Amino acid sequence: MLQQVNRQIILVERPIGIPGESCFKLVTSEMPKPMEGHLLLKTRFISVDPYMRGRMNDKKSYVPPFQLNEVLNGAVVGEVVESKSNNIIKGNYVIGNLGWQDYSVATEKEVRKINPENAPVSTALGVLGMPGLTAYFGLLDVAKPKLNETIVISGAAGAVGSIVGQIAKIHGCRVVGITGSDKKTKYLIDELGFDAAINYKTSNLVKALNEACPNGVDIYFDNVGGDISDAVLSLINNHARISLCGQISLYNGIQTPIGPRIEPLLLTHSAFMKGFLVHNYADRFEEGSIQLAHWLREKKLKYAETVTDGLENTPKAFIGLFNGDNIGKQIVKVA
């Protein structure tokens, strides 16, 4: 049975620093009705991602900012509950950029069908979705790992980092993860096969990295930035590659972050640093998706999900990303 109202989460205040729950509000609106050519989708899983913090500022970037008093949006897995379209029918699962709400309306072109027989549908938000593709291209295309090289990954237990490490293992690298709890270091080593993992909150990071990287650092896959990157960069080898995926430690900063200038290090080591967005690789998503699914079937890739229950808890799940609450992909399960 369909509800009579559609619950939605809107942004009522632009956060300054770490977002508070008061920036978000749960409102209700009328149930949307699909017009001809449209689908009515019941939200099953919502993805919350660190990059969304940038969209909460009123500043043009590579994606437009969220608008105040409008429904927040991002990657969502929905189930088709009514179809006025041809190729996607009732009962199908789809993924698309949809609202943080119980129900959405979309055209076929705005969503992509997912096959629940291949893997749980929530993996379309994680290992088989943007985070998996981000790991795939950010490691293989940007950093180009070679056998026996040492890679350090910050945010290593997150949705992207945990996949990067496993792909690097597949390519014969020594893999060292930096993360924020002993539970996570244990997970990285025992479950995912990392060679070493460091809890940056309880270690002398430079010392711990030195021990974990006896041959220096050839690749740094950076999800975090800030002080953690300063420590890693102090150990880079000649011709090191730094793949810049995220800078979560800086997203909530109020002022321009300041730190040691890195150009002298890059210069004297003939190193490079490259920022990338997964959407740069849109024309190769199929290649990446096929390979990730293949590794998943072969059990060369494992994934974890941290699942928060209830649409109303989406803001809390989002905010938790900045406390490192999640292992693997943080998703919200909606009824």
Residues forming contacts to a second copy in the complex (CB under 8 A) are 54, 61-62, 222, 225-226, 229, 238, 244-247, 250, 256-277, 280
Quick one: tokens of 334? 């909606």
Q: Which residue has the tokens 């939605």?
A: 8
Instruction: Output the smallest distance, CB 254 to a second copy, in A.
Output: 14
Instruction: Output the smallest distance, CB 250 to a second copy, in A.
Output: 6
Give me the amino acid identity at 220. Answer: Y
Residue pair 89/82 in contact (Cβ under 8 Å)? The answer is: no
Q: Based on CB atoms, which residue is closest to a second copy, 11 or 273?
A: 273
Give me the amino acid identity at 182. Answer: D
Give me the amino acid identity at 134. Answer: T
Instruction: Output the smallest distance, CB 102 to a second copy, in A.
Output: 32
Q: Based on CB atoms, which residue is closest to a second copy, 37 or 257?
A: 257
Quick one: tokens of 130? 């943007």
Q: Based on CB atoms, which residue is closest to a second copy, 177 or 225?
A: 225
Q: Based on CB atoms, which residue is closest to a second copy, 63 or 68?
A: 63
Instruction: Output the smallest distance, CB 136 to a second copy, in A.
Output: 16
Q: Based on CB atoms, which residue is closest to a second copy, 142 or 293?
A: 142
Q: Based on CB atoms, which residue is closest to a second copy, 101 or 247?
A: 247
Instruction: Output the smallest distance, CB 219 to a second copy, in A.
Output: 14
Quick one: tokens of 216? 């220096």
Q: Based on CB atoms, which residue is closest to a second copy, 92 or 247?
A: 247
Q: Based on CB atoms, which residue is closest to a second copy, 185 or 229?
A: 229
In sequence order, what are the beta bridge partners of 221?
153, 243
Instruction: Output the smallest distance, CB 266 to a second copy, in A.
Output: 4
Instruction: Output the smallest distance, CB 277 to a second copy, in A.
Output: 6
In sequence order, what are the beta bridge partners of 242?
220, 273
Q: Based on CB atoms, which residue is closest to a second copy, 6 or 154?
A: 154
Quick one: tokens of 27? 């409102």
Sign, CA dihedral 100-106-112-114, equals positive
Instruction: Output the smallest distance, CB 62 to a second copy, in A.
Output: 6
Residue pair 243/139 in contact (Cβ under 8 Å)? The answer is: yes
User: What one-character-per-residue DSSP string does 40-100 give?
Assistant: EEEEEEEE--TTHHHHTSSS--SSPPPPTTSB-EEEEEEEEEEE-SSSS-TT-EEEEEEES
Residue pair 314/100 in contact (Cβ under 8 Å)? The answer is: yes
Q: How far apart are CA 172 and CA 274, in angstroms?
A: 22
Instruction: Output the smallest distance, CB 288 to a second copy, in A.
Output: 17
Q: How far apart are CA 161 and CA 243, in angstroms?
A: 12
Q: How far apart are CA 277 and CA 226, in angstroms?
A: 19
Q: Among candidates 127, 135, 178, which has minimal Cα distance to 157?
A: 178
Q: How far apart are CA 221 and CA 111, in angstroms?
A: 30
